[in-house]
Amino acid sequence: MGLLEFNRRVLAQAENTSVPLLERLKYLCIVSSNLDEFFEIRVAGLKEQIKVGAVSTGPDGMEAAQILRQVRDQAHQIIERQYQVFNNELTPALAEQGIRFLRRTHWNEAQQAWVKDFFLREVMPVLTPIGLDPAHPFPRVLNKILNFALELQGKDAFGRNSAKAIVQAPRVLPRAILMPPEISGCQYGFVFLSSILHAHVGELFSGMEVLGCYQFRVTRNSDLFVDEEEVKNLRVSLQGELPQRHFGDAVRLEVADNCTPEIAEFLMQQFDLGPDDLYRVHGPVNLVRLMRIPDEVNRPDLKFQEFLPGMPPALQKKGADMFKLIRKGDVLLHHPYQSFRPIIDFIQQAAADPQVVSIKQTVYRTGADSAIMEALIAAAQRGKEVTVVVELLARFDEEANINWASRLEQAGAHVVYGVVGHKTHAKMLMVIRREDGKLKRYVHLATGNYHPRTAKLYTDFGLFTSNEEVCSDVNQVFVQLTGLGKASKLSHLWQSPFTLHSQVLRAIQNETRLAKDGKSAQIIAKMNALLEPEVISALYEASNAGVKIDLIVRGVCALRPGVPGLSENITVRSIIGRFLEHTRIFYFRNNLAHDVYLSSADWMDRNFFRRIEVCFPVLDPKLKKRVIDEGLKTYLQDNSQAWEMDGDNNWHLKVTRSATPKCAQAQLLQDLSGKMADTPDKA
């Protein structure tokens, strides 16, 4: 339920009139994208539990069937509100700005002619209509693909009298097509692909009458299953599973509001779904595909102002020697406000440097086009020892990771897939360089992925260091991932699944003891999710002892703040803004030691016990202060985009009308980024 509540907060961004108009449309699309994954993974998982008769309950004591009923109710409410915003708020507001969605029922003759020509040239050649009869059973409908169910009347050339047909919308075509201004009559006139098909689908069934044409889309179980006990080669096994992702069990059916009850019932039967799994939407099915519209509209005044990521002064000189800079002292980068470029430069310099003998890196998500991966391949081709721990089970990035693994192996790199049963989620990069006859290590550790595109959209910290003890710890973790043996004791890093959980508990309990001794005690933690029961219990105990606890949790939080006698000293807030909050920061006052840790891990069971994660300290006092100021204090002062949770787990937007507006992300953009791009005049 917490994930759905998070989506309500994202939906609120689409409702917020202070957000630029085209960005509001993006937020609406993000809600659809998030819901897709929610159904593909979470709802699919609940259905699987019910299917096998599992009786186990969750932390709240509810069984899977009870949770599923609540999920459906909440999802229906969110989707209904989403389309209300699209139809009643965004569509009219966009039309006022000369950005119109041209409905089929309002086309004039010139527009009708343009649409027909477009259909015959671009759409009809790639369509495959399937008439349903004994020789043509209901087709295997792909996951999340727009389709049309047709009701027909009459006989075809073979005398067949099929009453139904299915047409799949081509994936190669956008869902909203830009019509020339001289035809549309406005600056930006878009016509939906669904409208084009509605108007001309009869061309596919010559001599027959189309009685009805109805959009539908099915969402399927997309979680991949690999038998960890039987698997001999994880990559080969996964390659065999990937094609089946498109044809997993159906979990949701979306239909347009004009769909007849008979056709809806027919489709539910085909997908073995019930009425509660049917989502009737008042507009285009699959709003996700409208995400491209802002990119096609040249109206900077309706978008967030562009900015140039900043660069720390020491890195501003082009071609700066990364190794020399890191030897001088640790380097901290705060993305997206600061550039991701130094990480790429570091790897590219390492690949080209004849003194570098070895590069080791973990890869969770990196994208299909990656300068980092190309640099690793180049390093291997130059004869360097390159070891890459590729997480093949990074959800929805499996195919890209398999492709990179193949290319790395072909270049001569050592490629391993971590530990079966534990996802490698740690973000680590180590370079070993020969200097003055000795080998010296350089390390980059991060809270986010080595992915240049998401580094522009997600907030994350990255730390470069040549600290011998930290580098030794990172080396030990790599040894665990590539070899065999007992876990070694680490000097500074906390690691899942071995020490992270116990160390977090120890740090919380230490603050509890300090508070009981009459000393000031404080915990501030920022993460994506908080669910692990023992950590929550320890936080409750700390609160009762007088520890001041501020939690910044983007998504799901099972802790109840502000409850008398339980959590009076705990606050929970969530920041939803231009960038996706992704940083994990753990601060413990520790009797004025001010311990600061950055991590790849949330406080969840899976991160503590079923993943390879690292949590690393910020040791440099100046950088430690930066993390506290930029990553924590600024967010606790936010009164513009902050949501606060009450003791009943309800979220409320915290907007203080009387106070000076403070927006954490806007402040960090101002303080850390390069010069904001000038806003051009309207196109």
- The whole-angstrom separation of Cα 84 and Cα 381 is 55
- Domain span(s) for CATH 3.30.870.10 in the chain: 313-486, 495-672
Average pLDDT over residues 474-482: 93
- With cut-offs at 50, 70 and 90, classify the pLDDT of residue 232: very low
Closest CA relative to residue 322, chosen from 462, 218, 449: 462
* Residue 240 pLDDT > 70: no
Per-residue HEC secondary structure of 233-262 comes to CHHHHHHHHHHHHHHCCEEEEEEECCCCHH
At 253, list the tokens: 């059916």
What would the pLDDT profile of 67-121 be if each residue is shown by its tens digit? 999 999 999 999 999 999 999 999 999 999 999 999 999 999 999 999 999 999 9
- The whole-angstrom separation of Cα 680 and Cα 678 is 6
In sequence order, the 6+-apart residues with CB closer than 8 A to the CB of 391 are 362, 363, 364, 401, 417, 418, 423, 424, 425
If one compares 482 and 95, the residue with the highest pLDDT of the two is 95
For position 438, what pLDDT does the model report? 95
- The whole-angstrom separation of Cα 183 and Cα 55 is 60
- The whole-angstrom separation of Cα 540 and Cα 533 is 11
* Residue 394 pLDDT > 80: no
Q: Phi/psi class of residue 18: alpha, beta or left (left: φ > 0; alpha: ψ in -120 to 50)? A: alpha
Task: State the catalytic residue, choosing from 425, 444, 451, 501.
Answer: 425
CATH of 313-486, one of 3.40.50.80, 3.20.20.70, 3.30.990.10, 3.30.870.10: 3.30.870.10
Closest CA relative to residue 132, chosen from 286, 269, 280: 269
Cross-strand pairs, 530: 557, 603
What would the pLDDT profile of 177-226 be if each residue is shown by its tens digit? 999 999 999 999 999 999 999 999 989 887 788 899 999 999 998 775 54
SS3 content of the chain, % helix, strand, coil (to 5): 40, 25, 35
Q: Using an 8 Å Cβ cutoff, are 37 and 6 in contact?
A: no
Mean pLDDT, the chain, whole residue set:
90
- With cut-offs at 50, 70 and 90, classify the pLDDT of residue 139: confident
Task: Check if 501 is active-site.
Answer: no
Residue 60: what are its φ and ψ, rounded to 5°? Answer: -90, 5
First and final CA of the chain: distance in angstroms? 43
- Domain span(s) for CATH 3.30.1840.10 in the chain: 2-302
Average pLDDT over residues 53-74: 78
For position 395, what pLDDT does the model report? 62
Residue 442 CB coordination number (10 Å)? 22
Q: What is the pTM of this model?
A: 0.91
For position 59, what pLDDT does the model report? 57
3-class DSSP assignment, residue 291: helix
What would the pLDDT profile of 17-27 be if each residue is shown by its tens digit? 999 999 999 99
Beta strand extents in 376-465 (DSSP E only): 385-390, 414-416, 423-424, 428-435, 438-446, 458-465
Q: Using an 8 Å Cβ cutoff, are 569 and 546 in contact?
A: yes
- The whole-angstrom separation of Cα 327 and Cα 471 is 13
Strand-by-strand arrangement of the 164-168 sheet: 130-131, 164-168, 147-153, 209-220, 250-256, 278-281
Average pLDDT over residues 265-269: 95
Cross-strand pairs, 147: 168, 216
For position 4, what pLDDT does the model report? 93
> Domain 2-302: which topology?
polyphosphate kinase like (3.30.1840)
* Residue 467 pLDDT > 50: yes
Cis check for the bond before 336: say yes or no (omega within 30 of 0).
yes
Average pLDDT over residues 257-273: 94
Average pLDDT over residues 242-253: 72
- With cut-offs at 50, 70 and 90, classify the pLDDT of residue 326: very high
What would the pLDDT profile of 581-623 be if each residue is shown by its tens digit? 999 999 999 999 999 999 999 999 999 999 999 999 999 999 9
* Residue 683 pLDDT > 80: no
- With cut-offs at 50, 70 and 90, classify the pLDDT of residue 418: confident
For position 342, what pLDDT does the model report? 96
For position 119, what pLDDT does the model report? 95
Distances (CA, A) of 72 to 6, 223, 285: 15, 19, 18
Q: Indicate the helix (H) or strand (E) that contains 211.
A: strand 209-220
- DSSP string covering 61-116, please? S-BHHHHHHHHHHHHHHHHHHHHHIIIIIIHHHHHHTTEEE--GGG--HHHHHHHH
Q: Phi/psi class of residue 521: alpha, beta or left (left: φ > 0; alpha: ψ in -120 to 50)? A: beta
Q: Using an 8 Å Cβ cutoff, are 574 and 555 in contact?
A: yes
- With cut-offs at 50, 70 and 90, classify the pLDDT of residue 238: very low
What would the pLDDT profile of 364-384 be if each residue is shown by its tens digit? 888 778 899 999 999 999 999
What's domain 495-672's architecture? 2-Layer Sandwich (3.30)
- The whole-angstrom separation of Cα 488 and Cα 472 is 11
Cross-strand pairs, 434: 439
For position 230, what pLDDT does the model report? 43
Average pLDDT over residues 540-547: 98
* Residue 431 pLDDT > 80: yes
If one compares 238 and 287, the residue with the highest pLDDT of the two is 287
- The whole-angstrom separation of Cα 642 and Cα 651 is 10
Q: Using an 8 Å Cβ cutoff, are 238 and 392 in contact?
A: yes
